[in-house]
Structure 1
């Protein structure tokens, strides 16, 4: 199980909303000055985002927690988000060539299948917003050490 630390910002029935810091390897990468991802991260002023996680713990706003996501869920999600659009793009181009379309129409068909995969992923995400099988879980609460 992969773990991430965050702070509770809202408590709901059986779930909490947690603010987590974005993790990036850009800080240690030597190519960050010339990298598009490094430039985009430098332009963003907010390095946190909100996650809804299920829990049976009694938490309050301001508590620090450790969230967990199974490796299987992470792998399946990454394959859907990255591999599905790529396969749709390639399938559209190959299909266009196989049915005898010109190169321009094959490219257009590839774009249509790519866009269709994006619509599918968006609808899948909206349909599964409250699916607890696809949400992170609060593993434990942590307490910040107060410094005097």
Structure 2
């Protein structure tokens, strides 16, 4: 189970029971090998991400929350994004090599052509699969805890007037 902290900044779809959360660079980033070169949020800014989460803890806008991301789902998505395209490219290169030997043509050229073709097709498969998985609730983060509720601002408080 991977957890992240964030702040609810917008209510999502009421029928889906979701909210939008902003998360910032966390302790998980400290052990990442890419932490020195990662600047998704821009130079000099903390990395921020916006994510739609299932609101099981009844969080409201302004609440500090803890998100749970299922490790199995995270690993499957990571495999799909990083390992699958490489495996597809290798499979295409091997197929290109085999076809070139059977046809008696240049194995290097056909191997490269098939490799890049399969690499491109892998991204189409990722796009289609990603859309399908985005609707699956097991791939969405879930709010498991509200750390702090937003206190009402003093501007919103109206003091009743009493007659003396």
What interval of TM-score do these two structures reach, taking the shorter chain for normalisation? 0.7 to 0.9
Taking the aligned partners of 2:62 and 2:92, their CA distance within structure 1 comes to 49
Instruction: Trace 1:53-132 onto structure 2 (pairs within 5 A).
Output: 53-100=53-100, 101-102=105-106, 103-132=108-137
Please point out which of 18, 23, 42 is paired with 1:20.
Answer: 23
The alignment's C-alpha RMSD in Å is: 2.5
| 1:127, distance to aligned residue in structure 2 (A) | 2.6
- TM-score, normalized by length of structure 1? 0.81
For 2:42, the equivalent position in structure 1 comes to: 44
| 1:43, distance to aligned residue in structure 2 (A) | 8.1
For 2:139, the equivalent position in structure 1 comes to: 134
Report the structure number with the largest CA radius of gyration: 2
In the alignment, is the contact (CA less than 8 A) between 1:11 and 1:59 conserved in 2?
A: no
| 1:129, distance to aligned residue in structure 2 (A) | 2.5
Taking the aligned partners of 1:88 and 1:10, their CA distance within structure 2 comes to 39
Report the count of equivalent residues: 137
- TM-score, normalized by length of structure 2? 0.73
Q: Encode CA deviations 1:76-115: one digit per residue, 9 max, x unaligned.
A: 1111111100100100000000111521221111111011
In the alignment, is the contact (CA less than 8 A) between 2:20 and 2:51 conserved in 1?
A: yes
Taking the aligned partners of 1:42 and 1:133, their CA distance within structure 2 comes to 26
For 1:35, the equivalent position in structure 2 comes to: none
In the alignment, is the contact (CA less than 8 A) between 2:5 and 2:23 conserved in 1?
A: yes
Q: Secondary structure at the match of 1:41?
A: coil
Q: After TM superposition, what 4+ stretches of structure 1 lie above 3 angstroms from structure 2?
A: 22-26
Q: Tell me whether 100-109 or 78-87 shows the greater mean CA deviation.
A: 100-109
